[in-house]
Amino acid sequence: DTAVSQTPKYLVTQMGNDKSIKCEQNLGHDTMYWYKQDSKKFLKIMFSYNNKELIINETVPNRFSPKSPDKAHLNLHINSLELGDSAVYFCASSLRTDFTGELFFGEGSRLTVL
């Protein structure tokens, strides 16, 4: 069983389109995250949710909207995609809210915007 699963794994789309990436964790964790990893491998947090509530929202364009229907799911919707959105997006979860425990990452979703 995959602890943190993301779909799709690959996504190729045109500029201006809207797309979503889904994430589910079966670890019973309360906290979930979205990270963006750019071409230089830099990992930057985008959002953090604790039990369906947003607790971190870094300086991310409002074209990015996370949605958490329940604590096991955190989906990422992106409107009006731009070339600079091309990256690998990682979902992660942790047992604790305060970053004092390990993060469990999904396998990543590679987004390519043409």
Q: Which residues bind other proteins (CB under 8 A)?
A: 40-45, 56, 90, 99-108
Q: Quick check: 31 and 23 in contact, CB under 8 A? A: no
- The sheet carrying 4-7 orders its strands as 4-7, 19-25, 73-78, 64-70
Distance CA 29, CA 31 (A): 6
- Looking at the Cβ atoms of 43 and 114, the one nearer to other proteins is 43
In the complex, minimum distance from the CB of residue 20 to other proteins, in angstroms, rounded to a whole number: 20
Nearest distance in Å: CB 33, other proteins: 9
Residue 56 vs 72, nearer CB to other proteins = 56
| Minimum CB–partner distance for residue 15 and other proteins (Å) | 26
- CB closer to other proteins out of 16 and 101: 101
CB atoms under 10 Å from CB of 76, counted, come to: 23
CA trace torsion 73, 102, 106, 39 (10° rounding): 120
Provide, rounded to whole angstroms, the least separation between the CB of residue 102 and other proteins: 4
Closest CB to other proteins among residues 16, 39: 39
DSSP state of 107: -
